[in-house]
Amino acid sequence: AVPCTGEGLKRLGLDPARAIKVKAAVLRSGTDRAPEDFRNHLTRLAALQAYELAGVGPEDMALAEVHDATAVGEVIQIENLGFVEFGEGGPASLRGETKIGGRIPVNPSGGLESKGHPVGATGIGQIFELVTQLRGEAGARQVEGAQNAIAGSGGGLHGVEEAAACVTILGR
């Protein structure tokens, strides 16, 4: 991946047809909240800001790559990214809504529990998968017709959640 402007694409001789746009990238950190105050989860706040910046909403996303270093990670992240109501992440996953071919495919790459969790490189791995998907180059795990995609990642520990959360929205 080579992040650059349209002018940079020309200067580098890169094919603009393969370009993927960064529609929003939001980094949030340092909130204090009570465990029961799930609506102010750092990732949720970052997602709301990213959707606003990009001029899109959860319903516009074709797929997501989320930080699922533990089994409950997907459940929490799909709630925080606004794909389901709070408390519905587990049931939605069990119904198959997050599999390839489901309503909102999550981690078609396999996620961190499948492909590994390279600390410090997790986020770029998510972005690589989204770019591959948006270019239509993901082979058997391709989410057909993907135009917008979102990555939600975080790390560290601050109180009851991540010390930092990053939400990135990419699009064609």
To the nearest 10 degrees (0 to 180), the angle between helices 42-54 and 73-80 is 40
Beta strands in the chain (DSSP E): 21-29, 63-66, 148-155, 164-171
CATH topology of domain 20-171: Peroxisomal Thiolase; Chain A, domain 1 (3.40.47)
Instruction: State pTM to two decimals.
Output: 0.93
pLDDT, residue 79, reads 96
What confidence tens digit (pLDDT) does each residue in 115-155 have?
888 887 889 999 999 999 999 999 999 999 999 999 999 88
Question: Domains of the chain: which residue ranges?
Answer: 20-171
What confidence tens digit (pLDDT) does each residue in 53-84 have?
999 999 999 999 999 988 899 999 999 999 99
